[in-house]
Structure 1
């Protein structure tokens, strides 16, 4: 991996300009293609290269890796909380301390996910931004 002389992030890890983040995602449902606004998505749930996106009313499956998707979502709104989940920070209702530095994340609509300690630095950033 090549970095610039200033020691900044390599090009593939550098944050995208704000207008480059996905505002909506294309979803296929049977024989129709349609868009879901990123702002309407509560969280993403990965299973291999398939991702289920969850809104308040529906779920849809797309084919993409969670790592690729994470790079194209605005980090001001979305963060990865464990190996399999990315959440929309705007839908978090509460965090509850769990074992070994982990948290239970309760989202609007009653969804409960685990924020694992491997992503603990993101908890601190989230709390610092919202407190």
Structure 2
């Protein structure tokens, strides 16, 4: 079951960006069409003079802002600051603040697009009193914001369960541990309800990803809830080295170090990866690996 899940995940990876983009385009596009139709029907019942194209412009301008501006920004924000219930008060304040920024950006861009569309029709667009209308839009946007955050986090959780999520071995309830837990020789990986162990020697490199650190093992990434500094303190310093604020490498996996004109370097690994190396770590890495310049 685990091997089949791994194969399915690998087959999904080339289509991952297309699937993610397609999902949001379909969801927001369907919402845009449905809202345009129902808004026009409401105006027609009231015998309003609103033309048929106007509700379409209103909804399309909103959808364009969500798809091209707001969603990419929210994807970055939720990766950079994932919601953690352990510090929920500060997290809630941060996310409420983000929702306010999202609303302002969404509304300003939306209104600008509507003004442009109306001018092309030889008409003028009136958004109405800004304080009142902005508050009205925020009441709608905060619900969309919460839905999007929940959807993104649920999707990332599914991906972590699908590809496998690593954790440090814990102290046993009784008796001494069979191996050191301060610098563990193995990591526990859970994938789709099954557990298996990954040897620390098999880790090729590690990369920070928000509140996770991805362990690279034989072409697979296993997210571990930690910071780079936190996991660095748990790894054997004789076998692993920090090369960047976001990267740690296994010294045995380094092939060469390519100096760059900026003073930084590029570290070439046995798996074919080329990782960034900051100038502050470059000399130490060369001394520890004995690697020649590429």
Q: Return the TM-score normalized by structure 1.
A: 0.75
Deviations 1:17-58 (A, max 9, x none): xx6522111122221222110101100011122111111232
Q: Which of 107, 110, 116 is matched with 2:269 structurally?
A: 107
1:16 alignment partner in structure 2: none
Q: Greater shift after overlay, 50-59 or 77-86?
A: 50-59
User: 8 Å contact 2:257–2:268 — kept in the other structure?
Assistant: yes
CA distance in 2, matches of 1:23, 1:99: 38
Superposition misfits of 4+ residues, deviation over 4 angstroms: none
Q: Which of 85, 88, 113 is matched with 2:250 structurally?
A: 88
CA distance in 1, matches of 2:286, 2:220: 30
1:65-84 pair list within 5 angstroms: 65-84=227-246
Q: Which of 212, 233, 257 is matched with 1:50 structurally?
A: 212
Change in 2 beyond 3 A, CA 1:107/1:118: same
Change in 2 beyond 3 A, CA 1:37/1:82: same
User: 8 Å contact 1:27–1:61 — kept in the other structure?
Assistant: no
Larger radius of gyration: 2
Q: Provide the aligned length of Structure 1 versus Structure 2.
A: 112
The CA RMSD over aligned residues, in Å, is 2.0
Name whichever structure is richer in helix by fraction. 2
Name whichever structure is richer in strand by fraction. 1
User: 8 Å contact 1:44–1:85 — kept in the other structure?
Assistant: yes
Gaps of 5+ in 1: 1-18
Does 2:184 match 1:32? no
User: 8 Å contact 2:241–2:285 — kept in the other structure?
Assistant: no
CA distance in 1, matches of 2:233, 2:187: 14
1:8 alignment partner in structure 2: none
How far apart are residue 102 of structure 1 and its match? 1.3
Change in 2 beyond 3 A, CA 1:76/1:23: same
Q: Return the TM-score normalized by structure 2.
A: 0.36
2:226 alignment partner in structure 1: 64
Q: Which of 181, 185, 202 is matched with 1:23 structurally?
A: 185
Gaps of 5+ in 2: 1-179
